[in-house]
Structure 1
Amino acid sequence: MQQLKLDLQYFAGEKTEKATPKKREDERKKGKVAKSQDINTAVLLLFCFIILIAFGGFMKNGMLALYHQAFTEYINWNVTTETVMQVFVESVIQMAKILAPVMIVAIIAGVAANLAQFGFMFTGEPLKPDLKKIDPIQGAKRIFSVRALVELLKSLFKIVFIGGITFFVIWLYKDDMMMLAFKSVDDALAFFGRSTMIMGISATLALLFLSVFDYAYQRYDFEKNMKMSKQDVKDEHKNIEGDPLIKSRIKEKQREMATRRMMSEVPKADVVITNPTHYALAIKYDETEASAPYILAKGTDHLALKIREVAKAHDVITVENKPLARSLYQAADIGEIIPEAFYKAVAEVLAYVYNLEKKL
């Protein structure tokens, strides 16, 4: 028996259930989502290389203009606070113009890569100080964990794979590289620029290809870590819906309050129709309140007994009519006008009560 209990506790704590929407939302607020950093890097590099190809001439002319100005104009200036500041400001402005296309595209590419993976998300949770992050024991566990080993193997594979591609590109251009000594500076720079772009785009496409598999792994690992035990699901359900015991007590209190309010209406009734023991309904007819008699209170068994007791204590006449009490109890609720089908039967009861009150 003890072993069975231990087994049940083990299986209750085993994480076999998929994460609930609430847990996913809570983890998302903490900044924990499935994403591949390789996708961000690959998209960023791809767009940057495309911009370099498109604006390479503009950037080259800008750099040459800056060098020309520096070695023909700035070099002849006297070194003073004002001239140094002017050189600094003009150089910064010129470099900003040169790098602006790359920087703008890099920002757009980085945002787009993240949006494509997990949509828009803004949270400050990862920025909050957490002493666990500097805990050496936890740090050692992360370093020597299975995940760290997988990341190491992935990195080694990426280095070998992408390195092999770049080496292949260099090997294709080895003959042209050997002949650079016989070419002009402009031709040499053009060759290096062209070969660098080919290597960069080839490596980027290779990384983009690998990032698809990396994203699939990251999503699998994320879903695995997000799994919950059956007990976790139950606890979450309790937190959302409330403890069943507390809910039942609240409902019980609500019923007690409703019963007290109902009982306070019984003394206002014209008549109480009974079964006689199982059903009791307090009926009131007031032309200023409704066009037909309506029910002030009703109940069965113990509640019916209370209604009869309150009616007797306040001299409300009780009339026994088994079929009418049972049918009317099922047909109308508290505060409702009695259905038209019961008009005649209830009118006879009220007429009997009114005649009885006149005799009294």
Structure 2
Amino acid sequence: MSEGVDKDSKTEEATEKKIRDTVEKGKLPHSKETAIFSSFVAILAFTVFYARDAAVELGVFLSLFLEKPDAWPMANETDIIALYRSVMMEIGRAVAALLVLLVIAGIVGSVAQNMPRFVGERIRPQASRISLAQGWKRMFGVQGFVEFLKSVAKVGFAILVLVIALSDSVGRLLAGMLTNPVEFGSVIRGFAVDILVVIVFVMGAIAAADFIWQRFHWKQDLRMTRQEVKDELKQSEGDPIVKSRIRSVARDRARRRMMAAVPRATLVIANPTHYAIALKYVREEDSAPVVLAKGQDLVALKIRELAEANGIPVFEDVALARSMYKQVSVDSVIPQQFYQAVAELVRIVYSNKAKRRQVT
């Protein structure tokens, strides 16, 4: 029951990260029927293009051996081994092309499904491979049931093909027996080609269906629950709570640095209670006024408090404070559009300082 609930809860498509991790582990969809189809194509190609010539050459060799046995000395063990090697060489030459085609077909059938890659995870010993429970699940699960149906279908199809292909075989075989051995070999080859052509077409249909099924089943197995998607998002982008805490700490540190810099300000421009911008301008050091701190509401009140405590003049200009707050950045010079307005305030600050010096 829990397995069904788990499957029902997997409503989300697999993320790119999960697909990438699965591919890196070598867990890719693989159709066995595609490999079998490739093998039958190779056998058909061999039968059509190579089988006749290979059979004729092998037949000529064996006929010479049977017609002239005296030409093959078998007096001792060395002669028998030499004869055995000669026969095996002829048989090897006859089927060499088939073996090469089967190897090529196997490689093509595998590469056509997935690009080859070395995955150490696939050869690592795993307890699940010898687990009775896992084996039972593989045999009697959905995948095992599909494999059983495919096996039954293939056996039934093989029987049907043999019945149909051999339905008129008696007449053809009798006609072939009345000809010379080479022509009779052509008759046998014709039977084989007819059977293989039907097998290749049907196996192609089975392989295509199995190829689609394996990928569909693979994607279904990779589906995730909503909680799994959330957990993966947290792992890849960081826990939102932790990220929020980090941002909060960063803001607190930046605020403390600003407050520590306020006593060095030349003047503060404020919108009585909502905005405050602390500026520093020293003719010998700065090309333009620099923003030391800016704040809103409680932070703005704190900037004003520090400025007043350190004897820094505070100018209340609602429009200027509001406009500057939106466009200036801390530790940067003010934009050019504020040069004239701020220059007037700086002139007032320096003028007041000059008057105080004259009085003293």
TM > 0.5 between the two?
yes
Residue by residue over 1:16-61, the C-alpha shift from the partner in whole angstroms, topping out at 9 and shown as x without a partner, is 2222222222222222233322122112321342134223355446
Aligned length: 348
Residue by residue over 1:139-181, the C-alpha shift from the partner in whole angstroms, topping out at 9 and shown as x without a partner, is 1222222332232122101211232123211223231224555
Residue by residue over 1:329-354, the C-alpha shift from the partner in whole angstroms, topping out at 9 and shown as x without a partner, is 01222233323332221111111111
Residue by residue over 1:188-209, the C-alpha shift from the partner in whole angstroms, topping out at 9 and shown as x without a partner, is 3332233223212321221111
* Correspondence for 1:171 among 155, 167, 173: 167
Q: Which residue of 1 aligns with 2:277?
A: 281
Residue by residue over 1:279-325, the C-alpha shift from the partner in whole angstroms, topping out at 9 and shown as x without a partner, is 22121235676642231221112322443455456554433333322
Shift of 1:76: 6.3
Q: Which residue of 2 aligns with 1:50?
A: 45
* Correspondence for 2:202 among 183, 200, 206: 206
Q: Does 1:25 align with 2:20?
A: yes
Of 329-338 and 10-19, deviating more is 10-19
Kept after mapping to 1: 8 A contact 2:328/2:334: yes
- Aligned pair in 2 of structure 1 residues 287, 171: CA closer, same or farther (>3 Å)? farther
Q: What SS is found at the alignment partner of 2:119? A: coil
Q: What SS is found at the alignment partner of 2:11? A: strand
Of 328-337 and 97-106, deviating more is 97-106
* Correspondence for 2:125 among 122, 126, 129: 129
Q: Which residue of 2 aligns with 1:326?
A: 322
**Match of 2:27, as an amino acid?**
K
**Match of 1:50, as an amino acid?**
A
Q: Does 1:156 align with 2:175?
A: no
Distance (Å, rounded) in 2 between the aligned partners of 1:95 and 1:316: 106
Q: What SS is found at the alignment partner of 1:298? A: strand
Kept after mapping to 2: 8 A contact 1:166/1:202: no
Distance (Å, rounded) in 2 between the aligned partners of 1:106 and 1:309: 88
Distance (Å, rounded) in 1 between the aligned partners of 2:7 and 2:199: 48
Distance (Å, rounded) in 2 between the aligned partners of 1:255 and 1:73: 101
* Correspondence for 1:40 among 28, 35, 42: 35
Distance (Å, rounded) in 1 between the aligned partners of 2:274 and 2:7: 46
**Match of 1:279, as an amino acid?**
Y
* Correspondence for 2:239 among 218, 243, 247: 243
Q: Which residue of 2 aligns with 1:258?
A: 254
Of 347-356 and 109-118, deviating more is 109-118
Shift of 1:245: 0.8
Distance (Å, rounded) in 2 between the aligned partners of 1:246 and 1:322: 38
Distance (Å, rounded) in 2 between the aligned partners of 1:186 and 1:351: 117
**Match of 1:204, as an amino acid?**
V
Distance (Å, rounded) in 1 between the aligned partners of 2:7 and 2:30: 30
* Correspondence for 1:142 among 134, 138, 142: 138
Kept after mapping to 2: 8 A contact 1:285/1:292: yes
Residue by residue over 1:47-86, the C-alpha shift from the partner in whole angstroms, topping out at 9 and shown as x without a partner, is 34213422335544665688679x8998569756xx979x
Q: What's the Cα RMSD here?
A: 3.6
Structure 1 alignment gaps of length 5 or more: 1-9
- 1:299-338 residue pairs with structure 2 within 5 A? 299-312=295-308, 315-338=311-334
Residue by residue over 1:95-149, the C-alpha shift from the partner in whole angstroms, topping out at 9 and shown as x without a partner, is 7766554444434433333343345655332222111110112212222223322
Kept after mapping to 2: 8 A contact 1:281/1:295: yes
Q: What SS is found at the alignment partner of 1:273? A: strand
- 1:60-139 residue pairs with structure 2 within 5 A? 60=55, 63=58, 101-119=97-115, 121-139=117-135
- Aligned pair in 2 of structure 1 residues 65, 178: CA closer, same or farther (>3 Å)? closer
Shift of 1:92: 8.4
- Aligned pair in 2 of structure 1 residues 92, 191: CA closer, same or farther (>3 Å)? closer
* Correspondence for 2:9 among 11, 14, 37: 14
Kept after mapping to 2: 8 A contact 1:162/1:206: no
Shift of 1:267: 3.8
Distance (Å, rounded) in 1 between the aligned partners of 2:235 and 2:288: 47
**Match of 1:276, as an amino acid?**
P
Distance (Å, rounded) in 2 between the aligned partners of 1:181 and 1:96: 27
- Aligned pair in 2 of structure 1 residues 253, 92: CA closer, same or farther (>3 Å)? farther
Residue by residue over 1:224-261, the C-alpha shift from the partner in whole angstroms, topping out at 9 and shown as x without a partner, is 22222222222222222211111111212222233344
Kept after mapping to 1: 8 A contact 2:42/2:105: yes
**Match of 1:238, as an amino acid?**
K
Q: What SS is found at the alignment partner of 1:336? A: coil
Distance (Å, rounded) in 1 between the aligned partners of 2:166 and 2:12: 51
TM-score of the superposition, structure 1-length normalised? Answer: 0.81
